[in-house]
Amino acid sequence: MIYLDHNATTAPAPAVLEAMLQVLGSVWANASSQHAPGQQARRTLADARARAAQVLGCKPAELIFTSGATEANHMAVRGLLAAAAPGRRRVVFSQVEHAGQLRLARALAAQGVPVDTIGVHPDGRLDLEQAAAAIGPETALVSLMAANNETGVLMPVAEVAALAHAAGTALHVDATQCIGKLPFRFADSGAAAVSLSAHKFHGPKGVGALLLRQGQPFVAQTLGSQERGRRGGTENLPGIVGMATALELLGDLAAEAARLRALRDALERGLAAALPRVHVWGQAAERLPGTSYLRFGRLEADVVLQRLERLGVAASSGAACSSGGSEPSHVLRAMGVAPAEALAAVRLSMGASSTAQDVDYLLHSLPPLLEPLLREEQALAA
Ligand code: PMP
């Protein structure tokens, strides 16, 4: 199987599985217990925290372990909002945040919290003029993703951090798609809080973190003594050790990014040369190295995915499947893409397992399957 869905999740690395199994079987005591096994669990937790903090460029005390990015995102927004100065009640999101974050935005709005949104340009880049207009003296916080999970387009985190700083407000960055794919250091990010999820970089599912700047006003959302009172609940020690191990395995991200960028560009060039009416979204913008978000004419994504499945290729559509049908992607809608084109969106996301052979195979086998369908589509339109 050729796996081209690395933005959805990645396979746990063998060393991650090994480290987790060891903890699962042998270090199972509660890290809050006073007895010797509890102390061993506490030491294991402190060690994993120090190792993860080292890779993430943060202080160990700034790392709050969570069940993943969704929890980290929600606790960041609610926790920063609750701690904001009186008079700062507005929350700013981009229109292309992860679906879970936009649900939170709608829930806040329904509770009476004023929500401001920042749009994007047709190529998926954030509209900085709208950002400057939205962020002001009443803003409690800004929540922005570092890279979009569908298009891969990178967001201008440094510029928005400067706007937030000038307005005296906090920036939360959802770096879920960025961490593990591009070099990142919390200390240099300009953000007050950053979310991540281990399964996006060969760690386990169900574990992630919120990095929270030391001294940042914050109100805990899950109450308990763990994580310095900022996130209650017995720690998922095997998951945390798995995440720390995965972070340490990341290696030279700049070199891996260059490798994936070359593979991705070869794939996009080859498909456009072999087939008519191939459109790649965000191609002119800075993107995650392995992400390609494209459509073949207006062939429905499901049709293309079926052909890919037949070829043994696992990929995704850009449509969020809801019960009873597919909705066009909110990201593409924000970019001004027509619904019929958005429903044709297919995402190919490469990663550690991707090779030049994968690209050759796709370029050899996919065009003959799609070419007759595109010809038929053209004939119907004529
Ligand atoms: N934010 C972004 C940008 C993501 O891509 C994802 C995962 N698709 C999440 C948040 C949520 O991560 P998790 O499901 O691990 O909580």
- How does pLDDT run across 49-108, given as a tens digit for each residue? 999 999 999 999 999 999 999 999 999 999 999 999 999 999 999 999 999 999 999 999
Looking at the fold, whether 202 and 295 belong to one and the same domain comes out as no
For range 304-324, the mean pLDDT = 86
Residue 155 lies in a domain: yes
Query: pTM value?
Result: 0.97
CATH number (domain holding residue 165) = 3.40.640.10
Looking at the fold, whether 185 and 276 belong to one and the same domain comes out as no
Looking at the fold, whether 226 and 289 belong to one and the same domain comes out as no
**Best CA proximity match to 22, nearest among 47, 57, 2:** 47
- Give residue-wise pLDDT tens across range 184-204: 999 999 999 999 999 999 999
- Give residue-wise pLDDT tens across range 204-258: 999 999 999 999 999 999 999 999 999 999 999 999 999 999 999 999 999 999 9
Last residue of a domain, one of 196, 222, 248: 248
Looking at the fold, whether 358 and 299 belong to one and the same domain comes out as yes
Last residue of a domain, one of 222, 248, 274: 248
**360: CA distance to ligand 1 center in Å?**
30
Residue 140 lies in a domain: yes
For range 107-123, the mean pLDDT = 98
**116: CA distance to ligand 1 center in Å?**
22
Looking at the fold, whether 101 and 220 belong to one and the same domain comes out as yes
Residue 200 lies in a domain: yes
Mean pLDDT, all residues of the chain: 97
Ligand 1 binding residues, C-beta < 6 A: 68-70, 98, 100, 145, 149, 174, 176-177, 197, 199, 208
Q: Would you say 298 and 345 are in contact if contact means Cβ atoms under 8 Å apart?
A: no
Residue 264 lies in a domain: yes
Domain tally for the chain? 2
Looking at the fold, whether 237 and 260 belong to one and the same domain comes out as no
- Give residue-wise pLDDT tens across range 334-374: 999 999 999 999 999 999 999 999 999 999 999 999 999 99
**306: CA distance to ligand 1 center in Å?**
25
Judge whether 178 counts as a catalytic residue: no
**69: CA distance to ligand 1 center in Å?**
5
Q: Does residue 324 have a pLDDT over 60? A: no
For range 2-9, the mean pLDDT = 97
Looking at the fold, whether 181 and 41 belong to one and the same domain comes out as yes
Residue 258 lies in a domain: yes
Residue 298 lies in a domain: yes
| Cβ-Cβ contacts under 8 Å for 276 (sequence gap 6 or more) | 297, 374, 378
Looking at the fold, whether 185 and 273 belong to one and the same domain comes out as no
Looking at the fold, whether 277 and 352 belong to one and the same domain comes out as yes
Atom of ligand 1 nearest to the CA of 72: 16
- Which whole-number Å values give the CA distances from 102 to 83, 130, 144, 315, in the listed order? 21, 18, 11, 24
Looking at the fold, whether 244 and 311 belong to one and the same domain comes out as no
Residue 9 lies in a domain: no
Dihedral sign computed on CA atoms, order 30, 36, 40, 42: positive
For the chain, helix (H) and strand (E) counts, in that order, are 12, 15
Atom of ligand 1 nearest to the CA of 208: 15
Looking at the fold, whether 165 and 260 belong to one and the same domain comes out as no
- Single out the catalytic residue among 61, 82, 166, 321: 321
- Which whole-number Å values give the CA distances from 256 to 214, 253, 354, in the listed order? 32, 5, 11
Looking at the fold, whether 124 and 163 belong to one and the same domain comes out as yes
Last residue of a domain, one of 191, 215, 248: 248
Instruction: Determine what percent of the chain is predicted with pLDDT higher than 90.
Output: 97
What confidence category does residue 155 fall into, taking pLDDT thresholds of 50, 70 and 90? very high
Whether ipTM exceeds 0.95? yes
Q: Does residue 325 have a pLDDT over 70? A: no
Closest-CA residue, ligand 1 atom 12, reads 69
Atom of ligand 1 nearest to the CA of 206: 15
For range 287-308, the mean pLDDT = 98
What confidence category does residue 318 fall into, taking pLDDT thresholds of 50, 70 and 90? confident
Closest-CA residue, ligand 1 atom 6, reads 176
- Domain span at residue 304 reads 252-381
Q: Which residue has the higher pLDDT, 169 or 251?
A: 169
Given this model, what pLDDT does residue 260 score? Answer: 98
Residue 3 lies in a domain: no
> Which amino acid, 355?
T
CATH number (domain holding residue 373) = 3.90.1150.10
- Which whole-number Å values give the CA distances from 225 to 230, 231, 340, in the listed order? 8, 8, 51
Q: Does residue 322 have a pLDDT over 90? A: no
